[in-house]
Amino acid sequence: MLHDSKHFVSDGIALTDLANREILSGTVLSSDGDRHVRLRRVLSEQLSACSVKQLGQELRTRAGLLVDEHIDSGCGAFDAAALSRQMAGDTVMRLMGLPEEVWPQLGERTAAFYDVCGPDGPRYQQALPLATAIVPFLHDTVTRDTVAEDSWLGAIYRAVNGGEFDESDAIPLASAYAVAAMDTTVLGLTEAIRQLAHHPKQWSLLRQDTSLAENAIHEALRLEAPVQGFGRLVAERVRLGDTWIEAGEQVWLLYGSAGRDTDKWGVAADAFNIRRLNARDHLAFGAGRHMCAGVPLALMQGRALLEALASRCTRLSPAGEANRMLNNVLRGWSRVPIAAQLTGPLIGSRQPQ
């Protein structure tokens, strides 16, 4: 269905007409055809594997410093969610080119976007004011004068100048960077660390061979897709298995359950196995034309963080009750306390007691 953009179109990502019409309209997430290609092109150029490769050493250095900081301040323990949030959130905000003083304000609005993609209810109603304020907020803070010229948002304005799309498309496209790149990456990295802490044999495998770090991230995403589902609108009557679906109906794509499908993953579908050969076949990043453009950056951040932890910690283990993040569409954790057994004194910091 994700590959069939003829029958299943992106006008119906959210479950309410209000969200689809007022919040998602004009964004790359809800566009199809030539318009989607034009809008996505600038995203793809900035987020391609070749473009983000040059960030490798910077991300590895940053990951090492953050791991030292979080473990040291916690005397050998840390919150995997806080560590992941600082790694992924700050990286994305900086690459976007936004002034640092607006980072917290934008960050608190992004989770609300996913809440309003779900059903109308108390959580939806509470999130609606924040979600509808994303584009006006960006209109006020994202201008040619405030964004860094060599940033992702600077690239959007260069594309506008080059006639690739209209000025009116710049802010909705900027919102795609803000919304799609942060919460999902933070939740995915947090889940990978949590799974490794709960599976010491898998952690030992990773420490013995850090090239497994990327597969560990894929396996965590397979088991706990940060985006559990998105909608599609049926453009033409279509048959799915033994069922006919009429034009105008909406379908909900369950990325989360797809990652646990025993027809695809076998009887061990619920097991966390960083050596699973087909782990990267999950749908947490989507598929087809709307597959997440930020995959290379998300994986690079994840590899850097897991490699930094593996070089500093001989063992990870749960250190108390984790707290769920509650959201209509997102699945993950707001707090995951982890105990770390260290390889030795942290460089440039006090010895944990």
pLDDT digits (tens, 9 = 90+) for 120-151: 999 999 999 998 888 888 878 777 888 888 88
Q: How far apart are CA 57 and CA 353, in angstroms?
A: 31
Cα gap 346→342, rounded to integer Å: 8
pLDDT at 35: 86
**Closest to 292 in 3D by CA, of 147, 188, 151:** 188
Hey, how many other C-beta atoms are within 10 angstroms of the C-beta on 240? 13
Q: Give the start-to-end residue ranges of the domains of the chain.
A: 8-342
According to the model, what pLDDT value does residue 197 have? Answer: 98
Q: Which helix (H) or strand (E) holds 79?
A: strand 77-79
- Looking only at the bridges linking them, the beta strands covering 250-254 and 229-234 are antiparallel
Distance from the Cα of residue 43 to its chain's centroid: 15
What's the CA gap between 25 and 40, in Å, rounded?
A: 15
Could you name the CATH architecture of 8-342?
Answer: Orthogonal Bundle (1.10)
Check residue 52 and give its pLDDT: 85
Q: For residue 217, which phi and psi values (nearest 5 degrees)?
A: -65, -45
Residue 37 scores a pLDDT above 80? yes
* CA distance linking residue 241 with residue 64, whole number of Å: 49
pLDDT at 351: 36
Q: Please report where in the chains the tokens 């000025």 appear, as a residue.
A: 167
Output the average pLDDT for the chain: 90
Mean pLDDT in residue range 90-104: 83
CA 302 to chain centre: 11
Confidence at residue 344, expressed as pLDDT on a 0 to 100 scale: 60
> What residues contact 167, with CB distance under 8 A and at least 6 apart?
160
pLDDT for residue 352? 36
**In the chain, pLDDT over 90 holds for what percent of residues?**
61
pLDDT tier at 348, thresholds 50, 70, 90: very low
Lowest mean pLDDT across 11-25, 173-187, 245-259, 330-344:
173-187
Mean pLDDT across 36-47: 83
* DSSP-based three-state secondary structure for 353: coil
Q: Which token pair is 162? A: 């080059």
Q: What digits encode the pLDDT tens for the residues 57-96?
A: 999 999 999 999 999 877 789 999 999 999 998 888 888 8
pLDDT at 350 over 60: no
DSSP string over 224-277: S-SB-EEEEEE-S-EEETTEEE-TT-EEEEEHHHHTT-HHHH-TTTTS--TT-T
Cα 80 to Cα 84: distance, rounded to the nearest angstrom:
6
The reported pTM is 0.92
Per residue in 181-217, pLDDT tens?
789 999 999 999 999 999 999 999 999 999 999 999 9
Q: How does residue 252 score in pLDDT terms, banded at 50, 70 and 90?
A: very high
Query: In the predicted model, is pLDDT for residue 349 greater than 50?
Result: no
pLDDT of residue 353: 32
Question: Considering only 250-264, 293-307, 315-329, 331-345, which range has the smallest mean pLDDT?
Answer: 331-345
243: its two tokens: 């069922």
Q: What is the mean pLDDT of residues 238-257?
A: 95
Please tell me the distance from the alpha carbon of residue 84 to that of residue 298, in angstroms, as a whole number: 11
Confidence band, pLDDT 50/70/90 cuts, at residue 285: very high
